[in-house]
Amino acid sequence: MTPQLILAGLAAVAVVGIIVLAAALGWGGAMSRTCRLGLCTMAAGLVGAGVGRATQAPVGWFDVLFLIGLALYLARSYGPAIVHHADAADGAVDGKFDFPRGR
């Protein structure tokens, strides 16, 4: 094992540890169950994909797991604000997505 691989492993352990502490123990403040699930899924995918990247394996299911966790967390955290801004694109927040048509 090379020193670079060892340092990369230690960095991954630190990142995953912080993510799990924030998600599982609530160190990140008040979070919904969906946010916690997304963070833990992202951490699990990061651990599995890290092994694949270290061995120069092609993209696999752990990469997909990481992306699913990231999408789940971002959709739960920022999804309502994105929908609200899209709803206000026509000038009125009325629950309808009507975009003005060009002439």
Distance CA 83, CA 54 (A): 39
- Domain residue spans of the chain: 3-90
DSSP string over 39-71: HHHHHHHHHHHHHHHHTTPPP-HHHHHHHHHHH
Q: What is the pLDDT of residue 55?
A: 80
Q: How many CA atoms lie within 13 A of 73 on its CB side?
A: 18
Question: Could you read off the pLDDT tens digit of each residue along the chain, which spans 103 residues?
Answer: 678 777 777 887 888 888 778 777 777 677 888 888 888 888 888 888 877 877 888 989 999 999 999 999 899 989 888 888 888 877 777 777 666 666 5
* Structure-token match 């599982």, residue found: 24
Instruction: Please report how the helices 3-24 and 33-54 are oriented relative to each other, as an axis angle in degrees rounded to 10.
Output: 170
What is the value of pTM for the model shown?
0.69
The DSSP 8-state label assigned to residue 95 in this structure reads S
CB 47 within 8 A of CB 16: yes
